[in-house]
Amino acid sequence: MTKAKAGERLPYLLSKLKAPRVLERLEQTAALAREQEWPYERFLETLLEAEVFARDASGARMRIRHAAFPALKTLEDFDWSAQPSAERPLVLHLAQLAWIEEAGNVCFFGPPGTGKTHCAIALALKACERGHRAAFATTQEWVSRLEQAQDRNQLEQELRRLERYHLLIVDEVGCAPRGAISPGGTRGPPPAAVTAGRSWGQSGS
C-alpha cells in the first residue's frame, strides 16, 4: 500500500471547508514559510487571514450591489474645496458609523448641488464595507414601494423586510408627496441617512 504524500489530501480537505483562497496560496506560502522558518502558527494565520479578507471583500461587494446605489461615491473623492459649507470634521466623524450602532439618524440639508447625496452614499458605502446592510432609494421610490405593498395587503411584511437593514438612505425628501405613508414597524425603522433641500428643513414639512 502506497503511503500518502504529506499534504496530498489538502486540496480535498480545503474544498470541503470551502476555503479556495487558502488552496490558491498554499504552495507559495508553504515555500516562503519553509524558507524563512516560520512557526506553524504564523503559517496558519497567514493562510486564514487571506481567506477571511477575501470573504469580507466578497460580502462587501454583495452588500454594495444589493444597496442599489445610483453611483458609487466616497468621501475620498468629495471636493471639499468646492463645498465650503460642508462640515468636513463632522462628516468624517459620522464616517465612524457609531450613529448606526446607536440607531440614530443623519440628515443632510442644503440646496441642489451641495453634495448631500454624495455624502449619504459615501457613509452608506462605508457601512456596507463594515458589514452593515443598506438600501438606497429616493423618497418617491420608498413611498411607491410601501404603497404597492399596501395595495397587496402586504405592508406589514414589507416593513418587517425593511427592518432587516441596518441603514436606509432616503434621498430627496423635499420631493415627498403630502399624505405619504408613514411606516411604523414593530420595533421602529432602521437608522436612516436623509437628504433634503433647505426649504424642506425650514418648513418642517
Place of cell 466616497: 74
Tell me if 121 sits within 8 A of 169, measured CB to CB: yes
Angle at 195 between CA 136 and CA 122, to 5 degrees: 60
Phi, psi of 194 (to 5 degrees): -115, 135
Cell (9 digits) for 159: 416593513
Tell me if 123 sits within 8 A of 96, measured CB to CB: no
| The predicted structure's pLDDT at residue 202 | 41
| The predicted structure's pLDDT at residue 188 | 52
| The predicted structure's pLDDT at residue 200 | 39
Q: How many CA atoms lie within 13 A of 156 on its CB side?
A: 2
| The predicted structure's pLDDT at residue 175 | 53
| Predicted confidence pLDDT, tens digits, the chain (205 residues) | 455 577 788 888 888 888 888 888 899 999 999 999 999 999 999 999 988 888 888 889 999 999 999 999 999 999 998 888 888 999 999 999 999 999 899 999 888 888 999 999 999 999 999 999 999 999 999 999 999 999 999 999 999 999 999 999 999 886 555 544 444 444 455 777 787 654 434 433 3
| The predicted structure's pLDDT at residue 155 | 93
Cα separation, 185 vs 151, in Å, equals 17
Cell (9 digits) for 189: 425603522
| The predicted structure's pLDDT at residue 16 | 85
70 three-state secondary structure: coil
Q: Determine if the pTM surpasses 0.85.
A: no
| Rg (the chain; Cα; Å) | 24
Cα separation, 138 vs 195, in Å, equals 9
